[in-house]
Chains A and B, each alone.
Chain A
Amino acid sequence: MRRRTAGLRRPAGLPRFARLRRIGLPYLLLLPALLLELLVHLAPMVIGIVMSFKELTQLYIGNWGAAPWKALGNYRISVDLDAPVGAALLHSFLVTCAFSVLAVGLCWLIGTAAAIFLQENFKGRGLLRAVFLTPYALPIYAAVITWAFLFQRDNGLVNHVLHDQLHLTDGRPFWLLGDNSFVALVVVAVWKTWPFAFLVVMAALQNIPKDLYEAAALDGAGIRQQIRRITLPALRPINQVLVLVLFLWTFNDFNTPYVLFGKAAPEAADLISLHIYQSSFVTWNFGTGSAMSVLLLLFLLLVTAGYLLATSRGRKHADG
């Protein structure tokens, strides 16, 4: 209600023009943001959906309206599990699911633990906080290129430590080829994403009143109980958003595998974004690529809706 008082205080009998301006002003202020979102996000999304029903190959890129309709053909190719395209897509999807669950779980765990350990003030806390945020601040490609160097077979640090110094492996394993690449991918993704969880949880912890802990301690609750009974419940609302955001980011992650492996990711680490990118720009078949993107979007919408429903209901249940 108070929001309008500034305007309403003006003398009555306001000229029509001024009133119009007052009503129109918020929209005018939003206009640039809206136009840009339309141009770069919403319009392309609609076009992407249209494209997924077309046979859009190299020939039609300059004039995509002329591309012939293909109805559900692109979708049929994408989900045909007996054909190589569909089978590869399913494989990539499963790899991405496993990767996301693992990476999100680890990021959340490390981020929350670090934030709780840094909750209380002690010497060196500010420095540690800065150190922990460094991976988040580093440009992704610089960080991932450095990890690619660490994982090099012959001159990387990982094999030097595992093989030369600790003698844990017989030979020097490849980390960026074959099955090991999945491990490398998870390590790099967790390294660069957990600070975001840390940052968010840290901000949320600042809102928990200190006297809660003091009262609990006076009542004889130990640290563990304080964390379980005060900290974690207080983090619930923020966790709901945090886990979802982490999941969507990790699931859509393109940068990490693209920089870590170059254009062709090994099968064990073939994340879905990179997979779609490759099948679009390598074969120049944009129609199939779009159909795959739309399927990905549908999946993410379903997961998001299901997640929000489940967590909100759980929360109400716990509150009531």
Chain B
Amino acid sequence: MASPSVRVPRPSRRRSPMAPPRSFLWTRRIFLTALTGFVLLPVYVMFSSSLKPLEDVSGAFRWLPSEVTIRPYLDIWKTVPLARYFTNSLIVAGSATVCSVVIAIFAAYAVSRYRFRGKRVFTVTVLSTQMFPGILFLLPLFLIFVNIGNSTGIPLYGSRGGLILTYLTFSLPFSIWMLTGYFASVPRELDEAAHVDGCGPLGALFRVVVPAALPGIVAVAVYAFMTAWGEVLFASVMTNDTTRTLSVGLQGYATQNDVYWNQVMAASLVVSVPVVAGFLLLQRYLVAGLTAGAVK
């Protein structure tokens, strides 16, 4: 079964002389086709249902719309305050991303370029916070925010600020880890050249290291944005009616008594497109960053 076959169908130029046997090619074909089906099934349902009239999604399931309509895409903005959820999510995820990336750049620069006491403790602690159950610090954080609000008047609970603060720490550990790997791959001679030219450490960081590691920084930014855009647990507790984000708003939409599934699917598609497009465009940098981080 594993013996290399001599007659390889359509030999391509790229294939090495040790071409894989036919049985392997067929296993691969079947496995990848089945997996593609599994992966794309919900995506197809999301897309096709968003173009259906309401009758098609309230009765038995139909593979194809009885008529194609864009009404759901117009109605979603009226049925629920989707525009407000959208704005809230954009503000929260955008701010959390910018802050998280800037803070991660500083921390990663320190870890990759300096030796200092407590470096290992820092990296291990930061990474391990990632592993703790969110539920463990949800309740205390809720109480901390409520009590800070009561004693200082800074409204963290129920505000976008509190959510931004929370979310930026979620992406921070992974961002620091990945950027450390990226920065380490930037040759140190470049820093030294900048020092010779009279740059301080921060000058070297922003004039030399950051531009050289830009793909990695962009990948980290996408990751941070995705994390904040998709978070549900803290959003469900820390927001109120005016600061509600998409993750909670959309869920409320889908658990009403009469669910307009065509509209829910249209809304899901609308909120997914920006992150999926960004992710797929930049995924090769993410893979490169993972490799760089893993080498460390």
CB within 8 Å of B: which residues of A?
Answer: 2-6, 9, 23, 25-27, 29-30, 32-34, 36-37, 39-45, 47-48, 51, 61-64, 110, 113-114, 117-118, 120-121, 128-143, 145-150, 152, 154-157, 159-160, 164, 191, 199-200, 202-204, 206-207, 213-214, 217-218, 222-225, 238, 245, 248, 251-252, 254-255, 258-259, 262, 273, 276-277, 280-281, 286, 289-290, 293-294, 296-297, 300, 304
Contact = CB atoms under 8 A, between A and B. Distances in A.
Interface in B94-133: 103-104, 106-107, 109-111, 113-116, 119, 122, 125-126, 129, 131-133
A130 B277 CA distance: 10
A59 B63 CA distance: 53
Contact of A117 (B31, B119, B275, B288): B31
Of A135, A139, A152, A222, the most chain B CB neighbours within 10 A belong to: A139
Contacts, number: 301
A146 B126 contact: no
A47 B166 CA distance: 16
B152 interface: no
A6 B290 contact: no
B290 A199 contact: yes
A51 B35 contact: no
Nearest to A280: B139
Interface of B: 1-4, 14, 16, 18, 20-21, 24, 28, 31-32, 35-36, 38-43, 45-46, 49, 57-61, 103-104, 106-107, 109-111, 113-116, 119, 122, 125-126, 129, 131-141, 143-144, 146-147, 150, 165-166, 168-169, 172-173, 176, 188, 191-192, 195, 201, 226, 229-233, 236-237, 246-247, 250-251, 254-255, 261, 264-265, 268-269, 271-272, 275-276, 279-280, 283, 286-288, 290-291, 294-295
Contact of B169 (A41, A51, A139, A294): A41
A146 B268 contact: yes
A222 B131 contact: no
Given A26-B110, A129-B283, A258-B236, 8 more contacts: A3-B114, A29-B107, A44-B137, A141-B232, A143-B272, A204-B291, A223-B2, A277-B233
